[in-house]
């Protein structure tokens, strides 16, 4: 219960939990069904977008992983080719066997 002061100086008790029917909104049943259908359709689209976003995130992580592995392999290959060139330019040494496998 809440006490409120009236304009005459008297206090009145008002139930705070009672619904205020003075601001009630009446909705046409056809409009309500249309709104429920629109809501159902929008939830379906939201679910599809969430699945698509998860798929794109997974594909992005996979492609980043593959790109890193390729970069690592190419870097190692470049170092080994540099080593082979250095060994080939040394005239007095026996040729070394540089492996191109990782």
* C-beta separation of 98 from 84 below 8 A: yes
The residue ranking higher by pLDDT, 61 or 2, is 61
Identify the pLDDT of residue 16.
Answer: 60
Q: What is the pLDDT of residues 43-62, one digit of tens each?
A: 999 999 999 999 999 999 99
Which residues contact residue 11 at a Cβ distance below 8 angstroms, ignoring those fewer than 6 apart?
3, 4, 5
């Amino acid at each position: 219960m809440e006490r409120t002061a009236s304009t005459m100086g008297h206090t009145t008790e008002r139930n705070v939990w009672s619904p205020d029917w003075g601001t009630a909104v009446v909705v046409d049943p056809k409009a309500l069904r249309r709104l429920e259908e629109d809501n159902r359709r929008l939830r379906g689209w939201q679910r599809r977008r969430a699945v698509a976003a998860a798929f794109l995130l997974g594909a992005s992580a996979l492609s980043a992983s593959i790109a890193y592995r390729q970069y690592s392999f190419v870097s190692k290959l470049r170092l080994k080719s540099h080593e082979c060139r250095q060994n080939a330019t040394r005239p007095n040494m026996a040729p070394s066997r540089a492996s191109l496998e990782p």
